[in-house]
Amino acid sequence: MKYSLSLSVVPLLLSVASAAVAGRPKPEFKSYDGYKVFRVPVGSDASKVSGIVNKLGLTTWKGAPRAGAFADIVVPPTELAAFSKEIAGMDAVTMHDDLGASIAEESTFQTYAAGAVNSTWFNSYHAYADHLQFLRDLQAQYPTQSEIVTSGKSLNGNPITGIRIWGTGKGKPAVVFHGTVHAREWVSTMTVEYMAYNLLTNYASSSEIKGFVDKYDFYVFPVVNPDGFLYTQTNDRMWRKNRQSTSGSTCIGHDINRNWPYQWSVSGGASTNPCAQDFKGLAQGDAPETAALAAWLKTTKANQGIKLFIDYHSYSQLFMTPYGYSCTAVATKNTEFQALAKGAVAAIKAVYGTTYDYGPICTTIYKATGSSVDYVNDVIGADYTFTAELRDTGNYGFVLPANQILPTATESFAGVRYLLLNMK
């Protein structure tokens, strides 16, 4: 859709989202009625678009505008007229004509009846309590092959809940999937849950999946940022960070994927401003979620080894490798990483034709310090580490329609399948 300044607003009908009752976020939910999201080509000089963003006090969805890329910019109704003048002639594209209406449609949760574990789960997004119930119900259907696990607690005391899956016995090398590191990336939650669902429900009928589960212990954590995820459902759909306060600031939240205790102090890959979306924290590992996850990974590595770690995010359709902290440092197994990433994106594309790019984080998307993938690769010493940015590339961004959940998850599993078949 080409750039438009129409101010039509679709009212949001917000109601309580709870387990077993369909609904939308609570009434105090931050309204994005009339907000628009635009994709603006940055060109060779990022300063012009950055200047517009700063001048009008706007927010962006993919970090600061970068030369040669697109900036996805959220514009409130009060700034639409000024924004239209600033970007005249820049060939902007509308991603969301009314972000509030898009959120309302996305957040119409499907009713989930406890115990009803089937593929219809992936037809809509869900309330956090339902996610927990889904995992419990999935485990209850396969009690001799799975167990509910936690990798610590969040700042607010919410367990970081996952499911462990095994075949012929426990204690094999671990495959670990993380979802919802950044709270607003809802499709990552569903995609990671699909991994668990597919492995368990097809174990008895697929010799290939049986082979995977008999070879590895799978640890699937759909929501590693539970406080932030809850906040996206009760207060602000666009929330990214955890819910941690910072001394001397009224701004809330640390970016738990800029807080890992490795290459944290390197400049240029995270913000030192507590109000920024990518605030790195006051000290490495000072986010309770990061500290808990790091400790769990260390213990798991010592007890059984970690074969594969994938951190799932959205959006941009990327399948990336270490490193994020540097655009010149090269991972020891970089040649093998790139070959596997190339194969994974080819496998993803073979399902529905969805195109992913691949390569090291820093050169593929942007510099990111204190990231999980760099930490798990160099400190934990997992055999293979990747991070994925799921659908899409900019039509919808973070507010991806529910009808894309299952296709996203299905093609993502195809990428994982390639890795499991080809890792050494």
What digits encode the pLDDT tens for the residues 193-219?
Answer: 999 999 999 999 999 999 999 999 999
pLDDT bin (cut points 50, 70, 90) of residue 111 is confident
**Per-residue pLDDT at 3:** 36
**Per-residue pLDDT at 2:** 34
Handedness of CA 304, 306, 308, 311 (dihedral sign): positive
Choice between 14 and 204, residue whose per-residue pLDDT is larger: 204
Average the pLDDT over 84-95 and give the result. Answer: 94
d(CA 131, CA 154): 16
d(CA 4, CA 332): 48
| pLDDT exceeds cutoff 90 at 8 | no
Task: Show the beta-strand stretches assigned E in 335-401.
Answer: 357-360, 384-390
**Per-residue pLDDT at 110:** 86
d(CA 374, CA 381): 10
DSSP character for 377? I
Sheet holding 384-390, edge to edge: 146-153, 159-165, 217-221, 174-178, 306-314, 384-390, 318-321, 357-360
Q: Partners of 2 in the beta sheet?
A: 93
8 Å CB contact between 314 and 391: yes
- ∠238-195-220 over CA atoms, to 5°? 75
3-state SS assignment for residue 359: strand
Q: Residue 135 half-sphere exposure, CB side, CA atoms within 13 Å?
A: 26
H or E element that contains 161: strand 159-165
- Backbone torsions φ then ψ of 379, nearest 5 degrees: -95, -50
pLDDT bin (cut points 50, 70, 90) of residue 11 is very low
3-state SS assignment for residue 350: helix
pLDDT bin (cut points 50, 70, 90) of residue 63 is confident
pLDDT bin (cut points 50, 70, 90) of residue 28 is confident
Residues 6+ apart with CB under 8 A from 29: 12, 14, 234, 235, 236, 237
Mean pLDDT of the chain: 93
Residue 389 annotated in active site: yes
Give Cα 44 to chain centroid, integer Å.
29
| pLDDT exceeds cutoff 80 at 241 | yes
132, 155, 245, 283 from 286: Cα distances, Å: 26, 11, 11, 6
- Percent of the chain at pLDDT > 70 equals 94
- ∠227-114-135 over CA atoms, to 5°? 50
Choice between 62 and 249, residue whose per-residue pLDDT is larger: 249
Average the pLDDT over 73-94 and give the result. Answer: 96
pLDDT bin (cut points 50, 70, 90) of residue 384 is very high
| pLDDT exceeds cutoff 90 at 301 | yes
> For the chain, what is the radius of gyration of the CA atoms?
21
d(CA 349, CA 418): 12
**Per-residue pLDDT at 214:** 98
8 Å CB contact between 152 and 132: no
Lowest mean pLDDT among 1-10, 176-185, 283-292: 1-10
Over residues 283-295, the pLDDT tens digits come to 999 999 999 999 9
Average the pLDDT over 371-382 and give the result. Answer: 98
Choice between 107 and 332, residue whose per-residue pLDDT is larger: 332
Residues 6+ apart with CB under 8 A from 310: 176, 177, 178, 385, 386, 387, 388, 416
3-state SS assignment for residue 179: coil
**Marked catalytic residue, from 79, 106, 289, 389:** 389
pLDDT bin (cut points 50, 70, 90) of residue 116 is confident
54, 176, 293, 312 from 221: Cα distances, Å: 37, 8, 10, 10
Q: What is the dihedral of CA 196, 391, 124, 278, to 10 degrees?
A: 90
Average the pLDDT over 180-191 and give the result. Answer: 98
d(CA 284, CA 294): 11
pLDDT bin (cut points 50, 70, 90) of residue 319 is very high
